[in-house]
Chains A and B, each alone.
Chain A
């Protein structure tokens, strides 16, 4: 191209006094940024293709590399930010919609960071989780709201609805085989089994190799119905109907044909090389009544043995939708916030559609309790739970458990370069290229996933102990454990929390 309108995003800074020209950076970069020049006996680079995935930095044996933001700036303009100008140039060049991946990175409020947790002092002793039992186990599903006794006065356990038992209130969110690699799925599956939690197939079906992890698998049924068949439904511990996704509410999905190789094609039950297009809506669901039909069909198909989850994106009317979903016969409602990740989404949608999960969760929980149907369903939230305190705050706002997707990928090595859609993931996660997929050894990956969830569980127990709570059940919806800082009255009311400094 004669005119380069778009400057490189990053500066690849090499300390030549440290570089030993081992060319590891060159071999590891799928974007072909680094190369060796024999004549000059030095490493050179083509910075325009760098996506800042940090693979070269992480593997450089002499720490000779740094990736910094390119400091070149267009003339400052508060209205026309540089990013907007670059996007205009891109669209002028290609005529296409902009694509991005992972979660919304823009500057919207993060309510988790404006909520503070309580701790016990003097009058209500805190609990030391290392000395006393601390319960983080949760059961997801419909809870019976009546207690029955027989004539002898013994408790009658009648027809309890199917449940999912989690050792800790954390699950891996839906990421399809196709959007992420075989080895990423293998890591998630194995880690879930070891942790006693669940991972989610996403829309891509379940690879035959992972049927053995069925008891720790949530199988998803989405609008494309890829990979859905009787054995698939029977194998999972629960079935999730995906209505929407936080990163791209209201639109479907598109896995390019280039990623539909033999295994993905077989798993998705579509021809090799064809684009996998999930429609925006389920074409058989246009009302809560229609949703109920699908929920009941799936229950019928699996003999009412498995809980059904309905996943929706956090949108403006989320509380009313959650109420409808609770009445559709679903056992669990999953709500995905606007920060939720994706393998590819139109940038404009990712960055502008949906609402923060904190508000959506608080409002859905309020509405369900107000209508007396909160116990009919469990609430699971995701997008984006970044650490154990986010999870604890989510539970205090009314969630039964949380979904983590991005955090799990970080454990596998993801550096949030947000370029998944290109399929050239240098960390072997969001790619189907065999030479890249093998970079993620599931033996390493699964242990890292187990570690992160163990660490979070440990922290959750410490935080609960500090609050004088020894069971996660007692924290659920316990908004008195939360206080807001720097929030206005509307925000505090929506969240149902008091401002910091306010006593009980």
Chain B
């Protein structure tokens, strides 16, 4: 299965992926409009910054997903290898946040639910982070 991978050698820590991700998942076509809302759209990818090394992290879509195992309502499930969240079933207990070893589950504090990377499948598009990375540090590849 193709997943999103980050090559830290080329990650510039520019944070563009976060903005393209948030924009894509806001449902708005225009980034300016997406960010002009009162409630700023949330990115599902996050750039970890160090002095010499930066890299973007988002859901690894683990083969053995602790988040899915721990989900108390069945909101998280595996769909063809992609871990997806049904926000209508999420009660915001944050068990998944606690159990994710990569810290990739994002809290939507206002809506009291979680949100996470679904490889942009729900948008039927190439992942926005991959598309928008200016240095091809984020790639969509089948490495299994």
Contacts and interface: CB of A to CB of B under 8 A. Distances in A.
Interface of A: 17-18, 20, 22-24, 27-28, 59, 61-62, 434-435, 438-439, 441, 443-444
A61 B52 CA distance: 24
Interface stretch (B9-17, B60-68, B99-107): B9-17
Given A22-B19, A24-B15, A434-B52, A61 B135 contact: no
Contacts of B14: 24, 27-28, 59
Interface in B2-31: 9-10, 12-16, 18-20, 23, 31
Nearest to B36: A20
B32 A62 contact: yes
Given A434-B52, A438-B9, A22 B16 contact: yes
A23 B19 CA distance: 10
A62 B23 CA distance: 11
Contacts of B35: 20
A438 B10 contact: yes
Nearest to B8: A438
Contacts of B113: none
A476 B18 CA distance: 54
Contacts of B92: none
Contacts of A439: 12, 135
Interface string B124-144: 000000001011110000000
5 contacts: A20-B32, A22-B16, A24-B16, A441-B135, A444-B135
A38 to B, nearest CB: 16
B16 A62 contact: no
B132 A61 contact: yes
B52 A435 contact: yes
B32 to A, nearest CB: 5
Interface of B: 9-10, 12-16, 18-20, 23, 31-32, 35, 52, 132, 134-137
Contacts of A441: 10, 135-137
Contacts of A22: 15-16, 18-19
A391 to B, nearest CB: 30
Contacts of B18: 22
Nearest to B49: A27
A269 to B, nearest CB: 27
Question: Which 9 A-B residue pairs are closest in the complex by CB-CB distance?
Answer: A20-B35, A22-B19, A441-B135, A441-B10, A62-B32, A62-B31, A18-B32, A24-B14, A61-B19
A448 to B, nearest CB: 12
A23 B12 CA distance: 13
Contacts of A17: 32
B136 to A, nearest CB: 5
A435 B135 CA distance: 13
Contacts of B31: 20, 61-62
Given A20-B31, A444-B136, 17 more contacts: A20-B19, A20-B32, A23-B15, A24-B14, A24-B15, A27-B13, A27-B15, A59-B134, A61-B16, A61-B23, A61-B132, A62-B31, A62-B32, A438-B135, A441-B136, A441-B137, A443-B136
B25 to A, nearest CB: 15
A28 B35 CA distance: 21
Contacts of B15: 22-24, 27
B15 to A, nearest CB: 6
A2 to B, nearest CB: 36
B5 to A, nearest CB: 14
B1 to A, nearest CB: 23
B91 to A, nearest CB: 31
B21 to A, nearest CB: 11
Contacts of B136: 441, 443-444
A443 B135 CA distance: 9
A102 B52 CA distance: 30
Which of A18, A27, A59, A444 gathers the greatest number of chain B CB atoms within 10 Å? A27
Contacts of B16: 22, 24, 59, 61
Nearest to A440: B135
B54 to A, nearest CB: 9
Contacts of B137: 441
Nearest to B13: A27
B95 to A, nearest CB: 32
A319 B77 CA distance: 77
Contacts of A23: 15
B131 to A, nearest CB: 11
A28 B16 CA distance: 11
A129 B85 CA distance: 56
Contacts of B23: 61
Which of B20, B23, B32, B132 gathers the greatest number of chain A CB atoms within 10 Å? B32
